[in-house]
Amino acid sequence: MNIGVIGYGKRISHVIEALKKEHPEAQIAAVVDIQNDKQRELESSGGRKVPFFETTEAMLAECKLDGVLIGTRCSLHTEMALKVFPSGLPLYLEKPVATTMEDLRRLKAGYEASRSQVVVSFPLRVTSLVQTIKQIVDSGQIGTVEHVQAVNNVPYGNVYYQHWYRDESETGGLFLQKATHDFDYIQYVLGQTPVAICAMKSKQIFKGTKPAGLRCSDCEDNRTCLESPHVKKAPHFHPDWQYCCFAEDTGNEDSGSALIEYESGMHVSYSQNFFARRKAGMRGARFLGYKGTIDFDFMTGILKVLMHHTPKVEIHEFSSGEDHFGGDHELVRNFGDIMAGRASSKSKLEDGLLSALMCLKAKESAETRTFQRITWE
């Protein structure tokens, strides 16, 4: 399997490692990237010279590929996907699939005119945990789901203020960065049509008057600041996360919530937070039906089925390890099978388009303090 890569960053390199484990015949055949050091990195790790191209068009014209992975920064996801679609090649596309409504509409039109199968990077929907939830809901054990309460308290949230993710023109905001995953797995379980959304977001912690562009290493408070790499107890620090998150140019909200109405009249409540740390981290939900409730947390790997009219409680335990709780490996296995011609996508672009639409409408709702219809108009 000859793979073309557009944007060879850390996230997509991790995806490629997982792909090779699931499909050992897969290999990087060509790369489009503006950073020359990426070529040296690939050669030193694989011992094989991988051709680098300046443009996607040149790579597609000169190389015989079986599939393409897009791992650029978020604002380029749409542009690069539109360049791949005419080739008809299978495409692995990182989320969010677009960061603006204009790009989202362009992506939808380009996809509808193409024959490419797309796998969107939504690993949560294919985890064993969510697959089990889907089976329980579809069985009718808890009745029809009539309410969902979902939470994502992100314990590594400082990445959105101390790394390039702080640039909202790149990320599109944190509904698109995080809620897009949660909206998708909820949507996958429910199988209903969302019709309206209202949202609110706040920036209460990661703001301040420190100079724009300030790095932790240059800050006079770097021995006392709890977000500084120089403080040993700073949780979830990464050496690449070096910008001051209390500077005047720190972007992104640090909490957000949304209410989503569905065509049946039921609604979902969702809340995400980016300054919770350590054991306060949580990502999960409650799916409530008349007969019972499903309660789970990805981070603990524990799923409970709590029956309402009998004292019965079922407990399921899953691995809560890395790789998006096992979802990454399931997605890349699916992508490899698509390239081999023996599968269809388990995370289609239609799913990515709907989730991004919901996130963009949530952002608009929060900024205009209005309810938003979830439509393409």
What are the tens digits of pLDDT across the range 322-343?
677 889 999 999 999 999 999 9
State mean pLDDT over 139-167. Answer: 95
Residue 196 belongs to domain with CATH number: 3.30.360.10
C-alpha–C-alpha distance, residues 64 and 56, integer Å: 13
> Same domain, yes or no, for 316 and 196?
yes
> Same domain, yes or no, for 43 and 135?
no
- Report the domain count for the chain: 2
State mean pLDDT over 303-318. Answer: 97
Confidence check: pLDDT of 44 > 90: no
Lowest pLDDT segment from 40-44, 65-69, 111-115: 40-44
State mean pLDDT over 86-99. Answer: 97
> Same domain, yes or no, for 75 and 221?
no
> Same domain, yes or no, for 269 and 201?
yes
> Same domain, yes or no, for 267 and 316?
yes
Higher pLDDT, 351 or 35: 351
> Same domain, yes or no, for 71 and 163?
no
pTM of the model: 0.94
Confidence check: pLDDT of 45 > 60: no
Lowest pLDDT segment from 32-36, 105-109, 286-290, 351-355: 32-36
> Same domain, yes or no, for 69 and 184?
no
pLDDT at residue 10, rounded to an integer: 86
Confidence check: pLDDT of 257 > 60: yes
Question: pLDDT tens digit string along 185-239?
Answer: 999 999 999 999 999 999 999 999 999 999 998 999 988 998 888 776 666 667 7
Alpha helices in the chain (DSSP H): 10-22, 37-46, 56-62, 77-84, 101-112, 128-139, 159-162, 168-171, 174, 180-190, 322-325, 327-339, 349-368
Query: Token digits for 362?
Result: 């949530």
pLDDT at residue 230, rounded to an integer: 78
Residue 87 belongs to domain with CATH number: 3.40.50.720
> Same domain, yes or no, for 19 and 86?
yes
State mean pLDDT over 279-291. Answer: 97
C-alpha–C-alpha distance, residues 42 and 31, integer Å: 10
> Same domain, yes or no, for 117 and 133?
no
- Which domain, by its residues, includes 229? 125-320+356-373
> Same domain, yes or no, for 91 and 234?
no
pLDDT at residue 109, rounded to an integer: 98
Sheet holding 67-70, edge to edge: 52-53, 27-32, 2-6, 67-70, 91-93, 118-120
285 close to 130: Cβ distance less than 8 angstroms: no
Cα separation values, 223 from 18, 210, 228, 239, Å: 38, 16, 7, 16
> Same domain, yes or no, for 205 and 187?
yes
> Same domain, yes or no, for 366 and 225?
yes
